[in-house]
Structure 1
Amino acid sequence: MEPENDCAWKPKQGMTFDSEQCVYDFYNTYGGTLGFSIRRDFCRKNKINNQFICRLLVCNKEGFRKGDKRDPLSKNPRAETRTGCEARLYVKLDEGTGKYVVTDFKEKHNHDLVSPECAYMLPSQRKISTTQAIELDLAAQSGLRLGQSFELMGREAGGRQCLGFTKLDLNSWVGKLLDNEEQITNMFWADAQMIMDYAQFGDVVTFDTTYKLNKEHRPFASFVGFNHHRETVIFGAALLYDETAESFVWLFQNFLEAMSGKAPKTLFTDQDAAMAKAIPIVMPDTSHCLCTWHLMQNALKHVNCLFQDNGVKGVLNKFFFDIEDTNQWKLEWAEMLDKYDAHEKHLLKLTFAVKEKWGWPYVRSTWAAGMSTTQLSESFNAFLKDYIRSDFNLNEFFMHFERVLYKKRYKELEAGYALCQR
Structure 2
Amino acid sequence: MEFESDEAAKEFYIAYATRLGFCVRMNKSRRSRKDDTVIMRRFVCTKEGFHSKRVIYDDGKKKRKRTTAREGCMAMIEVVKKDPHGRWYVSKLVTEHTHHVPAFLMQSQSQLQGKVNDGDDNNNNNASISFGGAYLKSCSGNSNKVVRVNPFGEGGEAHGLLEYLKGRQASSPGFFYAVQVDNNSCVNNVFWADAKARMAYSHFGDAVTFDTTYKKTKYMMPFACFRGVNHHLQSVNFGCCLLMDETKGSYIWLFETWLSAMGGSHPPLLITDRDKHMEGAISKVFPNTSHKFCQSHILSRCKHKLSEAYLTHASLKSDLKGCVTGSASVEEFETRWEHFLSKYNLWDNAWLYLLYQIRYNWVNVYQKVSFFPDRFVSQRQESLNKFFKRNFNAKTSLMVFINCFDQDMASRREKEAEADFTTIYTKPILKSPSPIEKQAAEVYTRAVFDIFQEEFVQSLGYYVDKVEGDDQVESDDRFTRYTVAREEEGSVIGPLNFVSINTDDVQSRASCTCSMLEYSGILCRHMIRVFFTVGVRTLPQEYIFTRWTKYATTSNTDSNGLFSLNEGDRISEEAQQGAPDWERMVGRYNELCRDGVRFGIEGSVSQELYKVAKSALERAFAEVLNETDVQRKEQQLQQQQHSMSRLARVQKMQQQHQHSTSMPRLKVALPKFQLKKTPAARVALQEDTATK
Normalised-by-shorter TM-score class: 0.5 to 0.7
1:62 aligns with 2:51: no
Q: 1:187 aligns with which of 186, 190, 196?
A: 190
C-alpha distance 396-26 of structure 1, shift in aligned 2 (>3 A): same
In structure 1, what is the equivalent of residue 70 of structure 2?
83
Q: Secondary structure at the match of 2:238?
A: strand
In structure 2, what is the equivalent of residue 409 of structure 1?
413
In structure 1, what is the equivalent of residue 138 of structure 2?
none
Give the aligned residue type for 1:107: E
- Conserved in 2, the CA contact under 8 Å of 1:89 and 1:102? no
Q: How far apart, CA to CA, are the structure 2 residues paired with 1:372 and 1:59?
A: 36
- Conserved in 1, the CA contact under 8 Å of 2:323 and 2:337? no
Cα shift readout 1:324-356 (whole Å, capped 9, x = no counterpart): 347x86687678778877565331342233222
Q: How far apart, CA to CA, are the structure 2 residues paired with 1:264 and 1:91?
A: 56
In structure 1, what is the equivalent of residue 143 of structure 2?
none
Q: How far apart, CA to CA, are the structure 2 residues paired with 1:233 and 1:362?
A: 26
- Conserved in 2, the CA contact under 8 Å of 1:176 and 1:186? yes
Shift of 1:287: 1.6
Q: How far apart, CA to CA, are the structure 2 residues paired with 1:365 and 1:101?
A: 63
In structure 2, what is the equivalent of residue 367 of structure 1?
371
Q: How far apart, CA to CA, are the structure 1 residues paired with 2:302 and 2:254?
A: 29
In structure 2, what is the equivalent of residue 198 of structure 1?
201
- Conserved in 1, the CA contact under 8 Å of 2:323 and 2:336? no
Q: 1:318 aligns with which of 323, 332, 340?
A: 323
Q: How far apart, CA to CA, are the structure 2 residues paired with 1:254 and 1:346?
A: 36
- Conserved in 2, the CA contact under 8 Å of 1:195 and 1:235? yes
1:386 aligns with 2:390: yes
Shift of 1:211: 4.3
Q: 2:244 aligns with which of 221, 241, 256?
A: 241
In structure 2, what is the equivalent of residue 117 of structure 1?
106
1:107 aligns with 2:89: no
1:334-349 matches, cutoff 5 A:
344-349=348-353
Shift of 1:180: 1.7
Give the aligned residue type for 1:386: R
Q: Secondary structure at the match of 1:62?
A: coil
Q: What 5-or-longer segments of structure 2 have no aligned partner?
A: 31-38, 55-61, 84-88, 109-170, 429-692
Superposed CA RMSD: 4.9
Query: In terms of mean alpha carbon deviation, does 218-227 or 295-304 score higher?
Result: 295-304
Cα shift readout 1:158-177 (whole Å, capped 9, x = no counterpart): xxxxxxxxxx9684211211
In structure 1, what is the equivalent of residue 292 of structure 2?
289
Q: Secondary structure at the match of 1:243?
A: coil
Give the aligned residue type for 1:265: P
1:255 aligns with 2:258: yes
- Conserved in 1, the CA contact under 8 Å of 2:234 and 2:380? no
Q: How far apart, CA to CA, are the structure 2 residues paired with 1:18 and 1:339?
A: 80
Cα shift readout 1:202-237 (whole Å, capped 9, x = no counterpart): 222222113445331311101122222222222211
Q: How far apart, CA to CA, are the structure 2 residues paired with 1:344 and 1:365?
A: 31
Q: Percent identity?
A: 31
1:198-217 matches, cutoff 5 A:
198-212=201-215, 214-217=217-220
Q: Secondary structure at the match of 1:371?
A: helix
In structure 2, what is the equivalent of residue 232 of structure 1?
235
Q: How far apart, CA to CA, are the structure 1 residues paired with 2:49 and 2:216?
A: 52
In structure 1, what is the equivalent of residue 129 of structure 2?
none
Cα shift readout 1:130-177 (whole Å, capped 9, x = no counterpart): xxxxxxxxxxxxxxxxxxxxxxxxxxxxxxxxxxxxxx9684211211
C-alpha distance 222-395 of structure 1, shift in aligned 2 (>3 A): same
- Conserved in 2, the CA contact under 8 Å of 1:85 and 1:110? no
Q: How far apart, CA to CA, are the structure 1 residues paired with 2:210 and 2:194?
A: 18
Query: In terms of mean alpha carbon deviation, does 219-228 or 345-354 score higher?
Result: 345-354
- Conserved in 1, the CA contact under 8 Å of 2:106 and 2:421? no
In structure 2, what is the equivalent of residue 350 of structure 1?
354
TM-score for both structures, normalised by structure 2: 0.42
In structure 2, what is the equivalent of residue 133 of structure 1?
none
Q: Which structure's CA Rg is the greater one? A: 2
Q: How far apart, CA to CA, are the structure 1 residues paired with 2:64 and 2:190?
A: 49
Give the aligned residue type for 1:235: F
Q: How far apart, CA to CA, are the structure 1 residues paired with 2:404 and 2:20?
A: 34
C-alpha distance 110-342 of structure 1, shift in aligned 2 (>3 A): same
Q: How far apart, CA to CA, are the structure 2 residues paired with 1:284 and 1:35?
A: 49
Query: In terms of mean alpha carbon deviation, does 348-357 or 78-87 score higher?
Result: 78-87
Shift of 1:55: 8.4
Cα shift readout 1:218-269 (whole Å, capped 9, x = no counterpart): 1110112222222222221111011112211211222222222223222222
Q: How far apart, CA to CA, are the structure 2 residues paired with 1:359 and 1:299?
A: 15
In structure 1, what is the equivalent of residue 128 of structure 2?
none
